[in-house]
Amino acid sequence: MTIEEIYSLFRKNPSVQTDTRKIKKGDIFFALKGPSHNGNHYAQLAVDLGAAYCIVDEETGIQDERIITVTDSLKTLQALALEHRNTFKIPFIAITGSNGKTTTKELVHAVLSSQFRTSTTAGNLNNHIGIPLTILKIKTETEIAVIEMGANHQKEIAGYCTYTLPTHGLVTNCGKAHLEGFGGVEGIKKGKGELFDFLRDQKGMAFVNADYDYLHSMCKGIENIFWYGSSSHEMLSGKIYNDEAFLKIEITKGSDIGKIETQLIGGYNLPNVLAAIAIGKHFGVPDEKIKGAIEAYHPDNSRSQLLEKDGNRIILDAYNANPSSMKLAVENIAGMKGSKKILILGGMMELGEESRQEHEMLVKYIEKFHWDAVVLVGEGFKGIGEQYLHFDDALEAKSWYRQIKNTGALVLLKGSRSMQMEKVTD
């Protein structure tokens, strides 16, 4: 069966699932292979649950016209996404970067959806499976699509672009994330820069933070660029006027918005807010709508949330961590007002051979500030910073946190997703 024929089936049954636990009657089930599951083994279950069709790439032995066998289910899913993408003549904005891409995506979506019918990536479905699923959920009435792209190795972003076909793009930054897969910082710049490469070749438009020198060289050759940053030389500029505790910024050029009081923690979110404003301005969203959308946005999913719990203020930033974001988070809490400050940090993953060095460097950075307590969690910190408390996992740290019964403290909880640092204060 050709991809055009499969797309014809999709138009009649426009809901795709890759997990039988989520199947509803009339869905199309794609049997994908993962490290611990083979979707082909669930084809019969999908049919029994009411799937309209099952796309498989192995012989199932099931005699049913709803079973469609292809060479590669994943590639077929991505090809189907491209078929759907090609039916739209609307802006597709791709967002990638080492830090802040999900927050930026959420802010951009908030701003654009105040004026347009906008579709965006749900949660962090930003990989080779999540992106095609996101594209396939875009409705015909959509006016702008915002697609988040995550990556941990080179050629990944380039691959996403082949079926997303972005018309606009933004790289938040290039920090020390996924060092193992990218092969170092220069590899990260090359990998994230694949989005700019696509926009350059297709004469698309880029939104670029002028504060990062490396982005200047990465976007060189792109004809259409909207520059933003903290300098008055840019098309849009802004500055922080208060970040205690929520970030408050003032737009100094490119808009009459004036001051914005966000519900975001940390000055490191300034570039994310400016990016959303820049994109909003480019697409003609009125200033009052931009301001209202940003001020109404409240982070969730353990991303820079400020919680009041057990008599303490807790900055919960436990969705992910890398050397760059860790340093910014530590610097931020160190500069906040508060007589008591506690760090509870989980290990950083996917750093490869540089893991120990990066954990050591982080501990040395921590030593520059005064803390009432520092707790290091996980294998990454083993044998490092012995003057601080060490625990094997978040549950051990939770036991310690309960026993100290501290109140009136400002607490930072941060670590890589697999560390599940949110458990400490659950």
3-state secondary structure 22-42: HCCCCCEEECCECCCCEHHHH
Q: What's the average model confidence in pLDDT over 92-108?
A: 95
d(CA 122, CA 106): 9
165 and 102 share one domain: yes
Residue 286 pLDDT > 90: yes
327 and 276 share one domain: no
- For 141, other C-beta atoms within 10 Å of its C-beta total 7
Q: How confident is the model at residue 180 (pLDDT cuts 50, 70, 90)?
A: confident
105 and 230 share one domain: yes
18 and 130 share one domain: no
Give the range among 25-39, 124-138, 213-227, 333-347 with minimum mean pLDDT: 333-347
d(CA 270, CA 41): 47
108 and 152 share one domain: yes
Residue 177 pLDDT > 80: no
The kind and range of the H/E element at 264 are strand 259-265
The CATH number for 19's domain is 3.40.1390.10
* Amino acid 147: pLDDT: 98
Q: Which residues pair with 341 in a beta bridge?
A: 410
Q: What's the average model confidence in pLDDT over 341-352?
A: 93
57 and 151 share one domain: no
Q: How confident is the model at residue 86 (pLDDT cuts 50, 70, 90)?
A: very high
Residue 198 pLDDT > 80: yes
Q: For residue 58, is it within any domain?
A: yes
| DSSP assignment string, 193-244 | THHHHHHHHTT-EEEEETT-HHHHHHTTT-SEEEEEESSTTSSEEEEEEE-S
Cα atoms in the Cβ-side hemisphere of radius 13 Å centred on 408: 4
312 and 272 share one domain: no
Residue 101, classified by CB atoms within 10 Å of its CB into exposed (0-12), middle (13-18) or buried (19+), is buried
* Amino acid 426: pLDDT: 81
Mean pLDDT of the residues in the chain: 94
Give the range among 173-177, 217-221, 268-272 with minimum mean pLDDT: 173-177
360 and 214 share one domain: no
- For 235-282, how does the pLDDT look when each residue is reduced to its tens digit (9 = 90+)? 999 999 987 778 999 999 999 999 999 999 888 999 999 999 999 999
Residue 400 pLDDT > 80: yes
Residue 91 pLDDT > 90: yes
Q: For residue 186, is it within any domain?
A: yes
Q: What's the average model confidence in pLDDT over 292-312?
A: 87
* Amino acid 135: pLDDT: 98
* Amino acid 179: pLDDT: 74
* Amino acid 245: pLDDT: 75
Range of the domain at 66: 3-72
Number of domains making up the chain: 3
- Closest to 291 measured CA to CA, from 324, 317, 263, 258: 258
248 and 310 share one domain: no
Strand 373-377, strand 118-120: pairing:
unpaired
143 and 251 share one domain: yes
276 and 309 share one domain: no
* Amino acid 249: pLDDT: 96
Residue ending a domain, choose from 296, 323, 348: 296
Q: For residue 404, is it within any domain?
A: yes
Q: For residue 174, is it within any domain?
A: yes
Q: For residue 79, is it within any domain?
A: no
Q: What's the average model confidence in pLDDT over 348-369?
A: 94
- For 66-75, how does the pLDDT look when each residue is reduced to its tens digit (9 = 90+)? 999 999 999 9
The CATH number for 170's domain is 3.40.1190.10
- Closest to 393 measured CA to CA, from 372, 373, 360, 415: 415
Q: How confident is the model at residue 209 (pLDDT cuts 50, 70, 90)?
A: very high
**223 vs 48, 64, 131, 164, CA distance in Å?**
53, 53, 27, 20
Q: How confident is the model at residue 105 (pLDDT cuts 50, 70, 90)?
A: very high
Read off the pTM.
0.90
Q: For residue 221, is it within any domain?
A: yes
Q: How confident is the model at residue 191 (pLDDT cuts 50, 70, 90)?
A: very high
271 and 394 share one domain: no
The CATH number for 386's domain is 3.90.190.20
Q: For residue 77, is it within any domain?
A: no
d(CA 31, CA 54): 7
Which pair of tokens denotes residue 318? 């436990």
* Amino acid 95: pLDDT: 98
Strand 312-317, strand 305-309: pairing:
antiparallel
Residue 299 pLDDT > 80: yes
Q: How confident is the model at residue 305 (pLDDT cuts 50, 70, 90)?
A: confident
Q: Which residues pair with 158 in a beta bridge?
A: none
- DSSP 8-state symbol, 313: E
Share of the chain above pLDDT 90, in %: 80
Q: How confident is the model at residue 203 (pLDDT cuts 50, 70, 90)?
A: very high
* Amino acid 233: pLDDT: 84
Q: How confident is the model at residue 189 (pLDDT cuts 50, 70, 90)?
A: very high
Q: For residue 80, is it within any domain?
A: no
Residue 338 pLDDT > 80: no
